[in-house]
């Protein structure tokens, strides 16, 4: 598995491009700077196998439609965030306008789903709290987790936005704490970390949980 992190947009969100030997990429959270994401795909002569959205906030989905216009592929989001992700509720002027809904096929995410896209196998872990439909994508063979805005290096996602819930987030963190400690964490903002390191430094993820 190959993983490239592109930091995009005024909120400095992480968009991840991951691919295997066939060079059909999964694009996770294309939040802004569509030109940069497209340039990376084109430079590496890749197309998109799918778009995975950890949650619906505008800084994680705003480049989705433009990127998928050129590289059509299904996009996947939890139904609870789909309700508002492409609506006027999801904007932050002057930084982000209402995200345009893509024309591609929708895949609705649910906790516990497993999928294999072009040889890359993953499980959807429902992790509400930052938003009602937040999810993480766990690639167990590679011991990789894309945590969105649920878990960051040394901290966790905010819960004061509409639909956020600190108690529910704590329950979601408990689920992530069951993963192998060597799991690499690729968060929605900030640097990569490992679950073992978060057990050591993160006040929200101290063991015993």
Residue carrying structure tokens 């789909």:
82
3-class DSSP assignment, residue 40: helix
Global pTM reads 0.96
72-96 per-position pLDDT tens digit: 999 999 999 999 999 999 999 999 9
The reported pLDDT for the residue numbered 102 is: 97
Q: Tell me the three state secondary structure of residue 115.
A: strand
In angstroms, rounded to a whole number, what is the distance separating the alpha carbons of residues 10 and 160?
20
Q: Largest Cα–Cα distance of the chain, in whole Å?
A: 47
How far the first Cα of the chain sits from its last, in Å, is 31
Check pLDDT > 70 for residue 209. Answer: no
- Tell me if 49 sits within 8 A of 22, measured CB to CB: no
Confidence of residue 110 (pLDDT cuts 50, 70, 90): very high
Is residue 136 within 8 Å of 54, Cβ to Cβ?
A: yes
Which distant-in-sequence residues (6+ apart) come within 8 Å of 181 by Cβ?
194, 195, 196, 199
Domains of the chain: 2-201 (3.60.15.10)
């Amino acid at each position: 598995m190959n993983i490239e992190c592109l930091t995009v947009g005024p909120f400095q969100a992480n968009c991840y491009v991951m691919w295997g030997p066939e060079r059909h990429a999964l694009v996770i959270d294309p939040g802004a700077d569509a030109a940069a994401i497209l340039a990376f795909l084109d430079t590496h002569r890749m197309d998109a196998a799918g778009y995975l959205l950890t949650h619906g906030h505008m800084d994680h989905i705003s480049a989705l439609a433009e990127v998928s216009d050129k590289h059509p592929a299904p996009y996947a989001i939890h139904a609870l965030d789909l309700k508002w992700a492409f609506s006027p509720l999801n904007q932050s002027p002057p930084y982000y306008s209402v995200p345009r809904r893509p024309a591609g096929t929708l895949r609705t995410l649910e906790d516990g789903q497993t999928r294999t896209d072009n040889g890359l196998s993953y499980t959807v872990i429902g992790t509400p709290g930052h938003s009602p439909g937040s999810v993480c994508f766990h690639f167990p063979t590679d011991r990789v987790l894309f945590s969105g805005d649920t878990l960051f290096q040394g901290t966790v996602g905010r819960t004061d936005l509409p639909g956020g819930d600190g108690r529910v987030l704590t329950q979601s963190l408990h689920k992530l704490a069951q993963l192998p400690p060597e799991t690499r964490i690729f968060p929605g903002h900030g640097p990569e970390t490992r679950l073992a390191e978060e057990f050591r430094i993160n006040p929200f993820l101290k063991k015993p949980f």
